Structure 1
Amino acid sequence: MGKTKLLIAFIAFGTLVSFQKTTESPEKEINWMTLEEAIKLQEKAPKKIIMDVYTNWCGPCKMLDKNTFHNEDVVNYVNEHYYAVKFNAEGNDTVTYKDKTYTNPNYDPAKANRRNSAHEFARSLKVRAYPTMVFFDEEGEYIAPISGYLKPRQLELYLKLFKTDKYKEMDTQEKFNEYYKNFEPTFKE
């Protein structure tokens, strides 16, 4: 009987601590928006854009969202230095970019949470895997796609590479390898 009371007390205490933690310090989130909103904001306050290209069925996309895009260091850095865009690469949104409108003419609503047709805009960005983070400069010009699930410190390398314009010096694989080797991450995992 004593072990049962101890177990109940332990569970109750854990629940209380968990409740206090969520009510005292609500988790900050990345300020997600559409590409059109980000480009409009660039007119008044230029920042680079990071676009999370995901699909509803993609497990690594969900891990990226949960583990990396909710990391406090990632949230703070992205919100300060980037406009953040979420884009469903197999969704049905209409996207206007550089005076061209992109749709997903083969989208099937019955497959909304399964593999669907790739969006024209995802194809134009050369997205071949999910998740992919696409970076744009302060004028909304395409920089590069970075594919795969990245942990906070792995993403930090790219966030800082593009933010500081160091990528402009990376005209060879050796130069990127040197940057990678010398990079000292500061984000917590």
Structure 2
Amino acid sequence: MKGISSYLLLILLLVINTKGFSQQKTQVKWLTVEQMDKLYTKSPKKILWKVYSKDCHYCHDFEEKVLKIPAIATYINQNYYPVLLDAFDASPVTFAGHTYESKDKMNPMATHLLKGTIKFPTLVFVDEQLKMLNFLQGYYEAPNIEMVLHYFGDNAYKTVSWNDFQANFAKKK
């Protein structure tokens, strides 16, 4: 009897440990501008910029409560080069052969991407030809972010209006 209970305890411990490993959080694999530039040069792909501030409570919540949802993180990693950009890092940024210099205390790439409209967090969607498609400013719930990610990531924006896409996306879920 003692052997059976030891054996069951061992199995229980193995199941618990295995379950713990399988539930590791899927996270967005954020890149620096330099890392993304190297990857983009080899293989162009859509870019998702997350412009944030270290002191922004909404930025932190958005990352933890929305962008770490496994389906969202996995989709971002597969369909975009995700770049994390601190809006208050004023260091020069070189991307696609162009160096962006700061004219104030803002990150020069953030200034370029946000075009003077500063609100955090901001997601900026850029296509494979480096054309800015659109941006979302502020905290959005997961279903809304997932829909926008798919709209641009699946190239639906090229053939379907946003309103039609929204209606059909909601039906699929």
1:87 aligned partner: 85
1:140 Cα shift?
3.0
**Partner-residue secondary structure (3-state), 1:30:** coil
Inter-partner Cα distance in structure 2 for 1:22 and 1:91: 37
| Counterpart for residue 55 of structure 2 | 57
| CA 1:186–1:93: 2 relative to 1, 3 Å | farther
Residues 39-50 of structure 1 correspond to what in structure 2 (within 5 A)?
A: 39-50=37-48
Q: CA deviation at 1:105?
A: 5.1
SS of residue paired to 2:170: coil
Cα RMSD between the aligned structures? 2.6
Scaled by the length of structure 1, what TM-score is found? Answer: 0.71
**Aligned residues of 1:55 and 1:130 also touching (Cα < 8 A):** yes
Give the 5 Å matches for 1:21-40.
22-23=20-21, 25-40=23-38
Alignment deviations for residues 11-30 of structure 1 (CA, whole Å, 9 cap, x no partner): xxxxxxxx956555322221
- Counterparts of 1:1-189 in structure 2, within 5 Å, are 22-23=20-21, 25-104=23-102, 106-107=104-105, 118-125=106-113, 126=115, 127-169=117-159, 175-184=161-170
Secondary structure at 2:58 match in 1: helix
For residues 115-173 of structure 1, what are the alpha-carbon distances to aligned partners after superposition, in whole Å with 9 as ceiling and x for unaligned? Answer: xxx32322211242111001111233322211111222111111111112222346xxx
Q: Which runs of 5+ in 2 are unaligned?
A: 1-15
SS at match of 1:33: coil
Q: How high is the TM-score relative to the length of structure 2?
A: 0.76
Distance verdict in 2 for CA 1:122–1:144, change over 3 Å: same
Counterpart of 2:93 in structure 1: which amino acid?
V
Tell me the SS of whatever aligns to 1:178.
helix
User: Which residue identity does 1:90 align to in structure 2?
Assistant: F
The separation in 2 between residues aligned to 1:64 and 1:154, in whole angstroms, is: 12
Q: How many residues align?
A: 156
Gaps of 5+ in 1: 1-18, 108-117
Report percent identity of matched pairs: 28
Q: Aligned equivalents of 1:128 and 1:182: distance in 2? A: 32
Does the 8 Å CA contact 2:93/2:108 hold for their aligned counterparts? Answer: no
The separation in 1 between residues aligned to 2:41 and 2:84, in whole angstroms, is: 20
Local SS of the residue matching 1:52: strand
CA positional deviation for 1:99: 3.1
